[in-house]
Chains A and B, each alone.
Chain A
Amino acid sequence: MESPVPELSTFGAVLRFALEIEAATAAFYDRASKELEPDGPAALARELAAQHANRHKLLERTRQQKLNEVVLEPITGLDGAKYVFDASPAPRDRVLSRAVALEGTAERFYADSGTVAKALLTEASRTFRKLAEENARNSARLRSLGA
């Protein structure tokens, strides 16, 4: 089931969506880790569940500590329709492909947000860019397992 189209009009709205996608992705991997083969994909799913839970904490800190009213401007240029994601449970044979799709959506979202945030908050932009890079690495690892 796909997520609603987010309205990304403020820094807080962007961060809220980021928190939603991280929470949903962590839950997705957590479920997947219990369904996949214990030795290969399940271990990676466990690792990625923990990684996305940590990213959620990082984003909470970003929302709390990196906001500065000097550059608190309305956000424009992020089309929420591009970042709709599906983190619902998948049949076992489609778990990895759904995971790749999730990582790809998140990568796109963070890369675009990093560009928009660059004009507002350099520190937040740097965080978004690193998260996008991590998503790309995750996708590559999932593909190497046959996704």
Chain B
Amino acid sequence: MDSSATEWLDDTNPATGEVIARVPLSPKEDVDAAVRASLEAWEEWRETPPISRARVFFALRDLMEQHFEELARIVTQDHGKIIDEARGEVRRAIENVEVAAGIPSLMMGYTLEDGAAAGIDEEVLYQPLGVFAGISPFNFPAMVQSWFWPYAVATGNCWIAKPSEQDPIVQSYIFDLIDKAGFPPGVVNMVQGAKEAVEAICDHADIRGVSFVGSTQIAKLVYSRAAAHGKRVQCGGGAKNLLVVMPDAKLDKIVPNMISSVYGTAGERCLAGSVIVGIDEAREPVSRKFTEHASKLKIGYGLDETTQMGPVISRKHQERVLGHIDKGEDEGATVSLDGRGCKVAGYPGYFVGPTVLDDVTPEMAVANEEIFGPVASVLEMDGLDDAIEWINRSPYGNAASIYTSSGKAARDFRYRAKAGSIGINIGVAAAMAYFPFGGMKNSFFGDLHPQGRDAIRFFTESKVVITRWV
């Protein structure tokens, strides 16, 4: 059914600045309608055997493969990321569908004969709860919904998606494929919009759980509001991820990986490296080589295969990122590579060039606040212990990476660093679909993470049955 919205937002291509769609701002009534549709569909869907549910996911997987290139191109046009990154994102979305298709194995409970006493058996079953909703951010418009909904629906729940109002087109396209795959009406639903739709989801009595990814500020609000209404909640928030470079790191091999971590998706990634910490004598060479590589990146429209970094999502976000660079300079950082004033011929969109802020100190805002743009802050620390302590003091705990040739240093880092995703010579430690997507402290609110086995547990209730035949 169509939205009953009376207000609409313009959705622009961030590279060209052109309006490419108009997005309805769904009111509370749209959420109510989606919940009603879900509730009507739920009984029959939960009684559909897991293997039959899995077959619909296999059909969707095939459709997504057939439409792979279109999906990736839509992501690039609506979000701005380069086409390779868009392909990687769509790939991960498909992986989640593939993993969810294994639901007959993933959802199995377990039994213990004589588990309660002699002649009394005990077993556990996993059962769906009803209707769940997912609110996803602009930075991965195809992927983040797939961290949640395939698991929710494969386990026998119904789903209401609320994609970002800034780049919702690819989800609309995926929903067409969902329809074609054969999901029954009402099982997977979508509402558009912003604050009113989010609040309606948090408050609705018939929505049993909410999955969310966005800024820490909004994640906290959604977590507390939805939990106050008795819901299960999992909320991913912001990040400030360190890339720690040890003196024994092989710079020629790792710098391209660091570049990808910091500037991939124009830095609009919750796993993006944001602070480069050179340990002792590593600082000078890593700063020099990183800046040299960054200065050569080709900025442009993501549909040009040779482009290495695209624009940020919007004019407003561009101004915010530029403001952070100004602030860093005001605080005393050296702008050794300046992305302010970046222009791309023929594309009047929202570009910020790769930026390196050097001589950053731990108390500066740019070393602590999430920028969510193509900006690296470089600083020096005395020894790995100092870097780990800093990571552990940070209010964020999404990801942290170490670059080293030392197994001992890597092991210490993995053991002690308080972050949900650890990279060892990897700057984007993005969990595959069959692993949970981590996050700690102010980067994640909740108990069970998206993807993998955590997702199966989040979307099911465990029920114990104790049986005695007399």
Say yes or no: A74-B308 contact (C-beta < 8 A), given A64-B68, A67-B91, A69-B92: yes
A10 touches B257 (CB 8 A): no
Say yes or no: A7-B306 contact (C-beta < 8 A), given A71-B257, A74-B259: yes
B138 to A: closest C-beta gap in Å: 17
B306 touches A13 (CB 8 A): yes
A-B CB contacts (within 8 Å), total count:
67
Verify if A73 is at the interface (C-beta below 8 Å from B).
yes
How distant is the Cα of A72 from the Cα of B69 in the complex, in angstroms?
17
Verify if A115 is at the interface (C-beta below 8 Å from B).
no
Verify if B411 is at the interface (C-beta below 8 Å from A).
no
B427 to A: closest C-beta gap in Å: 9
B355 to A: closest C-beta gap in Å: 16
Give every chain A residue within 8 A of B91 (Cβ-Cβ). 64-65, 67-69
Interface residues of A in 85-99 (CB under 8 A from B): none
Give every chain A residue within 8 A of B306 (Cβ-Cβ). 7-10, 13
A72 touches B84 (CB 8 A): yes
Verify if B65 is at the interface (C-beta below 8 Å from A).
yes
Verify if A12 is at the interface (C-beta below 8 Å from B).
yes
B354 to A: closest C-beta gap in Å: 11
Verify if B429 is at the interface (C-beta below 8 Å from A).
yes
A70 touches B429 (CB 8 A): yes
Give every chain B residue within 8 A of A70 (Cβ-Cβ). 426, 428-430
Say yes or no: A72-B65 contact (C-beta < 8 A), given A10-B82, A12-B305: no
B65 touches A69 (CB 8 A): no
Verify if B88 is at the interface (C-beta below 8 Å from A).
yes
Give every chain B residue within 8 A of A65 (Cβ-Cβ). 91
B81 to A: closest C-beta gap in Å: 10
Give every chain A residue within 8 A of B88 (Cβ-Cβ). 67-69, 72
Interface residues of B in 247-274 (CB under 8 A from A): 253, 256-257, 259-260, 264
Chain B residue nearest in CB terms to A61: B65
- Residue among B69, B293, B308, B428 making CB contact with A9, cutoff 8 Å: B308
B264 touches A72 (CB 8 A): yes
Verify if B89 is at the interface (C-beta below 8 Å from A).
yes
A74 touches B260 (CB 8 A): yes
29 residue pairs of the A-B complex, CB under 8 angstroms, read A8-B306, A9-B298, A9-B308, A10-B82, A10-B306, A10-B307, A12-B82, A12-B84, A12-B305, A13-B306, A64-B69, A64-B87, A67-B84, A68-B88, A69-B91, A69-B264, A69-B428, A69-B430, A70-B426, A70-B429, A71-B260, A72-B260, A73-B256, A73-B257, A73-B259, A73-B260, A74-B260, A74-B293, A119-B256
Q: What would 15 more interface pairs be, CB under 8 Å, given A12-B87, A67-B91? A: A10-B308, A12-B83, A13-B305, A64-B91, A67-B88, A68-B88, A68-B91, A69-B88, A69-B89, A69-B428, A70-B430, A71-B426, A73-B257, A73-B260, A76-B256
